[in-house]
Amino acid sequence: MEQNKYLEYLAELYPTIEKASTEIINLQSIINLPKGTEHFLSDIHGEYEAFSHVLRNGSGAVRKKIDDVFGHTLGTAEKRSVATLIYYPREKLEQLRQSGEDMQNWYRVTLYRLIELCRVVSSKYTRSKVRKALPPDYAYVIEELITEKPELSDKEAYYEAIIQTILDIGRAEPFIIAMAELIQRLVVDHLHIIGDIFDRGPLPHQIMDCLMDYHSLDIQWGNHDVLWMGAAAGQQACIATVIRLCLRYGNLDILEDGYGINMLPLVTFTLETYVDDEAWQFGIKTQQEKADISLALQQRMHKAISVIQFKIEGQLASENPEFGMNGRCLLDQIDYETNQIRIDGKQYELLDGRFPTIDPAEPYALSEQEKNVMERLTRAFKNCEKLQKHVKFLLKKGSLYKVYNGNLLYHGCVPMNEDGSFMEVPVYGQTYHGKALYDVLEQYVRKAFFSMEEEEKERGRNILWFLWSAPGSPLYGRSKMATFERYLIAEKETHQELKNAYYQLLEKKETAEKILKEFGLEGEEARIINGHVPVHQKEGESPVKCEGKLLIIDGGFSRAYHRETGIAGYTLIYNSYGMSLAAHEPFETTEIAIQEEKDIVSHQIAVNYSHKRQTVGDTDNGKQLLKKIGELKELIGAYRSGTIKERGN
């Protein structure tokens, strides 16, 4: 009965045997095309320029196409020039014009080369998909140029006539730009962002704008992303932490200029409360003078907001004991007379004991002024249109994990015990592990934004904070976040954030197999793609774990971590021949990338490679299409057997 209803519904869309048959033929031809290229990036951390570069070069995928097409006919330098032109067409054209190049000749040669490339990169897609990707102004001409025309007897003359016209009417440059952008667009079919778009670097808002324009993507939230989502939802510990991190990295511009969130409430409060406090322990990492807020003042604001954060976090940790964050309740362990603190039974000297807003009798209570500051900031975050737009997008395209074409994608870990069993994590009165833990946490994230019940909304907001830094958080996966200790205690032993057992267990293949099974994946080809932890290439660490079943691709975009990792990091490409990791050199600036024609992909590591190309039929989308073909065949059967009548005229 149900099936019949479905066929009736399908009959509305394909009212005749002929229409249903045509659709089957169309779908079948898509299924036989090579699988589209997937591109995986993670841990971008506000580094817009480096991110944008890697997006443009497709982690080496554009260069690979250039090699395929121009193999021995172009030298390395020329290929590099073509690559830079495709990444930065406008800038490259400008540079050439100034260098005194014979432009007419260069236009002609370049147009031929780009057409050649466009033909190859578009051959993987159906005409209709390519058509949708074409820039409207040039759609018709480009389609003419890149489509094979066996019926033409003198193809050369035909193409030459079109190119000559483009040159004659002075449209070579916009045409070159359109072609370059089209190549970029077609080389990567789908993008995966495995978390941590925000914090540390200066331009996360521009990354978000760029992602919002991208043709096809999904996002697995990282702990830094949920932190910003929490702030947007009005969760005050998240708001304080977001501001603290912006101050720590000299990134107030993100808030003030990027999002238009005014820091005046915090500035006035700091000026009144921390007047003669140098706040030495709260230095700014990437020092940026701002016209209106001096470094000295930023440092004090940094202290002011940190103290607010410690207070709010202490309250939350004791109101939610099951979050396992009692270790964050440190303010009541301080002896305010002697400036000592007790942690795990040991006394430590505090590096800074001046806390003008802390009442030792009630150390977690915000002072009246602090309350006022937080109320104003909360309003500003909640009313910030741009931030709300970005977070809506994160909710729409994002999730805590994703199963895509046989791979499992997540930012942090699946919390485990040392014996390899999944860790039970309590969430509001019930415990969960593995996939169920991920699912319940994601539900709460969505409740924070969409629930109609204030209590559930509040729980959801607090889960965003939990996800940021709790030991049971799959996005964080460390025993504690030692923020207080790092600022205020010299002894390094207190700074230790122990990684969840997962990270040790990664050396064994069974770990990955167990996790994949938990998420419904099996077989040789299934893999976990993970972000979050930098790979220490300098010390010989490999991004390939669990005998190839798990790949850690911390993109290492974060400049602050280059010293530690030795290279900028890894990204991943999964095309129809298999998967390969791209290792990146640190990115300097866009200007240098253009001037010196630098690509920053240092080498590629094949993870698995096969000469038999995977087709769309092997992908999730392909399986859907195959299902649809099956249904259409049934529909045709129903037409033929007379159970369903053809309709229309």
Ligand X SMILES: O=P(O)(O)OC[C@H]1O[C@](O)(COP(=O)(O)O)[C@@H](O)[C@@H]1O
| Residues binding ligand X (CB under 6 A) | 196, 223-224, 248, 478, 481-483, 497, 532
We find the least distance from the C-beta atom of residue 224 to Mn ion, in angstroms, to be 6
The DSSP string of 388-421 is HHHHHHHHHHEESEEEETTEEEESS---B-TTSP
We find the least distance from the C-beta atom of residue 552 to ligand X, in angstroms, to be 12
We find the least distance from the C-beta atom of residue 481 to ligand X, in angstroms, to be 5
Cα torsion at 602, 605, 610, 611 (round to 10°)?
A: 30
The phi, psi pair for 471, rounded to 5°, reads -65, -25
We find the least distance from the C-beta atom of residue 476 to Mn ion, in angstroms, to be 7
Identity of the residue, 173 or 497, whose beta carbon is nearer to ligand X in the bound complex: 497
Number of residues that bind Mn ion (CB under 5 A): 4
d(CA 395, CA 52) in angstroms, rounded, equals 22
Residue from 36, 60, 201, 222 in contact with Mn ion (CB under 5 A)? 222
Q: Give the sheet arrangement for strand 550-552, strand by strand.
A: 401-404, 407-410, 527-530, 550-552, 544-545
Identity of the residue, 571 or 576, whose beta carbon is nearer to ligand X in the bound complex: 571
Q: For the purposes of burial, counting CB atoms within 10 Å of the CB of 291, is it exposed (0-12), middle (13-18) or buried (19 or more)? A: exposed
Identity of the residue, 502 or 574, whose beta carbon is nearer to ligand X in the bound complex: 502
Identity of the residue, 49 or 196, whose beta carbon is nearer to Mn ion in the bound complex: 196
Q: Closest by alpha carbon to 121, among 146, 138, 141?
A: 146
Identity of the residue, 33 or 50, whose beta carbon is nearer to ligand X in the bound complex: 50
The three-point CA angle 113-119-125 to 5° equals 150
d(CA 284, CA 248) in angstroms, rounded, equals 5
Q: Which two tokens stand for residue 233?
A: 């939802």
d(CA 613, CA 577) in angstroms, rounded, equals 5
Residue 11 binds: one of Mn ion, ligand X, none (C-beta under 5 to 8 A by kind):
none
Residue 478 binds: one of ligand X, Mn ion, none (C-beta under 5 to 8 A by kind):
ligand X
Residue 481 binds: one of ligand X, Mn ion, none (C-beta under 5 to 8 A by kind):
ligand X
d(CA 378, CA 376) in angstroms, rounded, equals 5
We find the least distance from the C-beta atom of residue 530 to Mn ion, in angstroms, to be 10
User: Contacts with Mn ion in 493-532 (CB under 5 A)?
Assistant: 532
We find the least distance from the C-beta atom of residue 499 to ligand X, in angstroms, to be 9
Span interacting with Mn ion, options 68-76, 189-197, 399-407, 610-618, rule CB under 5 A: 189-197
d(CA 426, CA 415) in angstroms, rounded, equals 12
Q: Give the Å distances, CA to CA, from 562 to 557, 558, 644.
A: 8, 7, 65
Identity of the residue, 40 or 639, whose beta carbon is nearer to ligand X in the bound complex: 40
Inter-residue contact 431 to 425 (CB < 8 Å): yes
Inter-residue contact 408 to 311 (CB < 8 Å): no
Span interacting with Mn ion, options 14-22, 80-88, 190-198, 488-496, rule CB under 5 A: 190-198
Inter-residue contact 327 to 468 (CB < 8 Å): no
Span interacting with Mn ion, options 188-196, 346-354, 402-410, 602-610, rule CB under 5 A: 188-196
The phi, psi pair for 357, rounded to 5°, reads -100, 0
We find the least distance from the C-beta atom of residue 557 to Mn ion, in angstroms, to be 12
Inter-residue contact 649 to 16 (CB < 8 Å): no
Identity of the residue, 11 or 413, whose beta carbon is nearer to Mn ion in the bound complex: 413
d(CA 250, CA 301) in angstroms, rounded, equals 12
Identity of the residue, 416 or 481, whose beta carbon is nearer to ligand X in the bound complex: 481
We find the least distance from the C-beta atom of residue 364 to ligand X, in angstroms, to be 21
Rounded to the nearest 5 percent, the helix, strand and coil shares of the chain are: 55, 10, 35
Identity of the residue, 497 or 518, whose beta carbon is nearer to ligand X in the bound complex: 497
We find the least distance from the C-beta atom of residue 561 to ligand X, in angstroms, to be 8
Q: Closest by alpha carbon to 611, among 187, 34, 28, 38?
A: 34
Residue from 196, 313, 485, 513 in contact with Mn ion (CB under 5 A)? 196
We find the least distance from the C-beta atom of residue 475 to Mn ion, in angstroms, to be 7
We find the least distance from the C-beta atom of residue 626 to ligand X, in angstroms, to be 39
Identity of the residue, 482 or 516, whose beta carbon is nearer to ligand X in the bound complex: 482
554 lies in the binding site for Mn ion (CB under 5 A): no
Residue 497 binds: one of ligand X, Mn ion, none (C-beta under 5 to 8 A by kind):
ligand X
Residue 328 binds: one of ligand X, Mn ion, none (C-beta under 5 to 8 A by kind):
none
Cα torsion at 444, 449, 450, 452 (round to 10°)?
A: 90
Residue from 122, 223, 251, 462 in contact with Mn ion (CB under 5 A)? 223
d(CA 411, CA 312) in angstroms, rounded, equals 26
Identity of the residue, 204 or 222, whose beta carbon is nearer to Mn ion in the bound complex: 222
Contacts to Mn ion by CB under 5 A: 196, 222-223, 532
